[in-house]
Amino acid sequence: MLTTVDAFLQRIAKRLIGEFDTLPESQRVVTLADIFVILTLAPFVVIALIWLIVVTDLNKLGSYAVVSLISVVLMLVFERLTFVLTLEVRRNVPASVSGTMGNLVGVALSLLVGESALWVVVIIALIAYVRDLLIIQRLPEQLPFGFHPYQRIGALRQLVNNTASVLPMLLSIVFYRASGGLFPLPDLRFETLLRGLLMVFSSALLIIPLFLPYFWYLRSSTYFTSASSMTILFLIASLLPFVVDPFGILLAGLYAIHGWPAYLFLLIGILLVALMAYNLSQQTQRSQQRSRELERLEQLGRALIQAPPDGSTLPVLLNEYIPGMFTSGKLEVWLYPDKLLVNHPEDVKAIGGEAMNWLRTQPETRVIDVDALLPWSGQKTILPMNLVPILEVDSQLPLGGVFYSQRFQVNPGKRLRELLPAMESLASQIASELHSAKLYTNTIANQRMLQEVALAGRIQATFLPNSVPVVPGWELMVGLEPARQTSGDFYDLFELPNHKLGMVVADVADKGMGAALYMALSRTLIRTFAVQYPDSPAQALTAANLRILSDTNAELFVTVFYAVLDPLTGTLTYCSAGHNPAFLLNRDDGGRMVQSLSRTGIPLGMFETVSWRETTVGLRPHDVLIIYTDGLTEAQTAEQDLYGEERLRKVAREHVDCSAEEIHAALLADVHQYMGDAAQFDDITLMVLVKE
């Protein structure tokens, strides 16, 4: 049955609205419901108007002209003092029923004038219809949220609704006359009150069948998933006249018995009660709204705590908890540059993109009132709106924004400002989640990097000799202490033809992964060319330098001390490529005479057209050779005082009679004692060679 009715209504809707099929589902459902009401109630409206014209007594209406005029004014006032109940008829889709005390004024006038008083109902309905048409007429071509192409249909439906209620009222007056009721109401005796109640209750009961088809249509629609909420709203709307309208009998009776003073006195009382009911309703709505905001924000907060730390579920959680935070309106959450996280209602096209782009340049909370000029377009706004930026926790730079717009009938600016705390809390929660996700991502990246660096350090350690070669007549000790997990320092020990020993201590002029990679390349090339030129350290370094420059573009360089030791003769042929000068001491003189092995060229990796000279020294028995990198002499205290070469040589002299291992340990121990709690700034490499 509903399918057939829907098909019929859709044909009519498509004729009236060419773009009907492109409207969001919610708008299509409301449009079809409006057309359904107009078609079902139109015959009753025609019957009611014809009947009213026939029974109208102009003379009686004229005699009560002042009362009628006051009634019209009061009913318009009461229309502004509505009390509202809102329920969800679909997830995050609210519906409301409203009532006023204006009907009891109409009841009182009907009991004084009779059927002719019902023209007041028609006049009120026409005034509301004309007012709606004037509002619609002033709308721009680009309609904002809350105004749609079918707005005239909605206004017509409201006119038909209000006018159709005249028919049950006419029938109730017939019942009143049949029971012996008189116009005007003669008194407030018990029998008179019963006849008045008969008229009021019969009118209220007869209105219900008129709107049952409308209720059936909405309740049967698949769009409204909460049938129980729809039923509650319909019952409240149906029962409200039974509570309010009987007081119209008292109002008419007081006028009939005591005249204007009593009538006005009671009217003032009713007006005050209506004002109290209105304020109570508004306060209740505000309290419900605040409770709803707190509840949804708390639910969102708990969900975010339990969500994956990478922020991947943020859009899902926002769409689950946020749309129900506000009873109605257009809510959008954006992240820059153009990511829309929330678009509610989802079947309505997003409208806040332009506002968000402007908010990016003016990142502060904004309330734009009705008729204010939009700062991004210069056009007047029809609907009030809130703009709240989402700011990065640390830098306070804009990450996005929350946009909200709603069609409020009364005090739109005030009503919207009341929503700002919740919107700002929402923006803060989103910013906090984005910040946590960023920290998590950075932490994971850092952990991955640390793992990679640790792996690189382990791999780099394999480039160092597994053991120190044993050379008869000589003691050799070497070690490297990296400042980080990877090192730019390296040393190497390798055998050369004729039982010679190659010794390398080097330092890449940088730290971190780049220096470690450069170290690996330099070590490989130096060893390769050292084997190729076993008797000439200068040739080996020259060849290595050219290959380093051809294979890299890192703008790094490496200082190298490379020596070839002939253990049999005690000769040491070396090149010092920009490296810290190694030095020789002798045990026989207590280390007083120090021979410095000065630099013989610049570091490797700087220029192609350079060469190194090599120098040969003879090592005597009890000579001590100390080779090191600048990480040792440039070790610092917390006050940034340098360890220095002078202290290094002093400690070496103090331990010159010790073994190579003991000298090595003593020098490193003194360096660390000097540094104290200060962090190690650079890699330390130390090689000690002693001729027995």
**Position 367 in a domain:** yes
Reported as a single tens digit per residue, the pLDDT across 478-515 is 998 888 777 788 899 999 999 999 999 998 887 777 77
Identify the domain boundary among 377, 406, 439. Answer: 439
Tell whether the model's pLDDT for residue 95 goes beyond 60: no
The conformational region for residue 163 under phi > 0 = left, psi -120 to 50 = alpha, else beta, is: alpha
Reported as a single tens digit per residue, the pLDDT across 356-414 is 888 888 888 888 887 788 888 877 777 788 899 999 988 889 999 998 887 654 555 56
Band (pLDDT 50/70/90 cuts) for residue 351 is confident
3-state SS class at 456: helix
**Position 394 in a domain:** yes
**Position 397 in a domain:** yes
Tell whether the model's pLDDT for residue 87 goes beyond 60: no
Reported as a single tens digit per residue, the pLDDT across 573-608 is 999 999 999 999 988 887 788 899 989 999 998 888
| Amino acid letter for position 581 | P
Same domain, 334 and 422: yes
Structural tokens at position 375: 């700062």
The conformational region for residue 277 under phi > 0 = left, psi -120 to 50 = alpha, else beta, is: alpha
Same domain, 661 and 588: yes
Q: Considering only CA atoms, which of 93, 94, 73, 75 is closest in space to residue 85?
A: 94
Q: Dihedral, CA atoms, 229, 234, 239, 244, nearest 10 degrees? A: 100
Check residue 412 and give its pLDDT.
56
| Amino acid letter for position 606 | M
Same domain, 248 and 152: yes
Same domain, 158 and 244: yes
**Position 112 in a domain:** yes
**Position 453 in a domain:** no
Estimate the crossing angle of helix 227-244 against helix 190-220, to 10 degrees. Answer: 160
Number of domains the chain is built from: 3
For residue 320, the tally of other CB atoms under 10 A from its CB is: 16
Spatial separation of the C-alpha atoms in residues 199 and 110, rounded to whole Å: 10
Check residue 231 and give its pLDDT.
66
Identify the domain boundary among 258, 282, 308. Answer: 258
Band (pLDDT 50/70/90 cuts) for residue 281 is confident
Same domain, 250 and 320: no
Same domain, 81 and 212: yes
* Residue owning tokens 């002029």: 509
Spatial separation of the C-alpha atoms in residues 192 and 176, rounded to whole Å: 10
**Position 454 in a domain:** no
3-state SS class at 558: strand
Same domain, 467 and 432: no
Spatial separation of the C-alpha atoms in residues 462 and 347, rounded to whole Å: 63
Same domain, 405 and 328: yes
CATH label of the domain that carries residue 597: 3.60.40.10
In whole angstroms, what separates CA 370 from the centre of its chain?
27
Identify the domain boundary among 229, 258, 287. Answer: 258
Cβ contact 624:656 at 8 Å: yes
Beta strands in 484-548 (DSSP E): 489-496, 500-508
**Position 11 in a domain:** no
Same domain, 434 and 482: no
Residue-range definition of the domain harbouring residue 183: 41-258
